[in-house]
Amino acid sequence: MYALDAPHFTNPIAARRMMETIRWPHGPVCPRCGEAERRYATKKEGRWRCGNPDCAGDYTVTTGTVMESTHIGLHKWLMAFYMLSSSKKGSSSHQLHRTLGVTYKSAWFLSHRVREAMKSIGLAEPLGGEGRIVEADETYHGKVETPKPRSRGRIPKPTKKGRSGPADKRPILALVERHGRVRTFHVAAADKATVSKIVGENIARDSRLHTDESNLYPTIGKEFAAHETVKHSAGEYVRGDVHTNSAEGFFSIFKRGMRGIYQHCAEKHLHRYLAEYDFRYNHRVRLGIDDMERTIAAVRGAEGKRLTYRQPRSTEFPA
């Protein structure tokens, strides 16, 4: 971490100006009607009145973002964006609470809203493409809140690594482009129908699909330029350029982070944490993105989320 004493991290006005530059590089735009030319300054600095007579609404840089109606200083928001963007495994609400000097409850809301901003939206284009490799792999993390009832005497199937059955765990599917982006999914069950649907919808058909020998993939695998597998059960992890090491690497960062920082993640919030890890992976240093650029990308993502996504509610606190 560096430059934590920079004005935008210590002064709410400097933070607001920075956010305005990020959101409005060509000057303020009304988030309600899109009016970019006509506006009036109000008595309150940073608050504009739309000059479109049909709209005439007031707005600030936080209107229509995850920060709308906030009572927390924008320098603290910016610091929260920075802390969650810059450390490899994330930052706990306790850490934010101590560093920002806000209550634990505020820190919790702040961090979930930053995660909301990090979530990718809309119809993302498929991963991979001609000549590219996409790895698909599943893992199990944490415990489900309401385990499925089992018929008496049935022994749960062990996970890939031989641990107790996946029936009580939360399955996560990751699709990872070799040297590229990741997309993860917390699924109700890692069964063939679910996995085939996600793989089919998210990977370009002219990609090479790499998986382990799991029986989840052969059917959907036929739809791709190639489906190549490594046989983990036989101790085979790499054959030529065929492997699932990128997916395993992603899972390993995720699991170490979740264990070390987010020990008490409720199942209903798991997708939010996944979005956070996806975001950092997709803006990682190896792709040429530094801490501040990653922070700015997250702040940009804050826009348009206010109305699109259900926000964490006070009844969900604490997680």
| Total residues in contact with Zn ion, by rule CB under 5 A | 7
292 binds Zn ion (CB under 5 A): no
Closer to Zn ion by Cβ: residue 50 or 110:
50
Interface with Zn ion in residues 55-94 (CB under 5 A): 55
List the one residue from 10, 12, 24, 32 that touches Zn ion (CB under 5 A).
32
Q: At what angle do helices 245-260 and 270-282 cross, to 10 degrees?
A: 120
Binding to Zn ion by residue 30, rule CB under 5 A?
yes
* Span near Zn ion by CB under 5 A; candidates 22-30, 143-151, 159-167, 265-273: 22-30
50 counts as binding Zn ion under rule CB under 5 A? yes
- Asked if 33 is part of the footprint of Zn ion (rule: CB under 5 A), the reply reads yes
- Shortest distance, CB of residue 66 to Zn ion, whole angstroms? 20
- Give the interface segment with Zn ion, choosing from 34-42, 137-145, 290-298, 308-316 (CB under 5 A): 34-42
Q: How far is the CB of 63 from Zn ion (least distance, A)?
A: 10
Beta carbon of residue 33, minimum distance to Zn ion (angstroms, whole number): 3
Q: What residues line the site for Zn ion (CB under 5 A)?
A: 30, 32-33, 35, 50, 52, 55
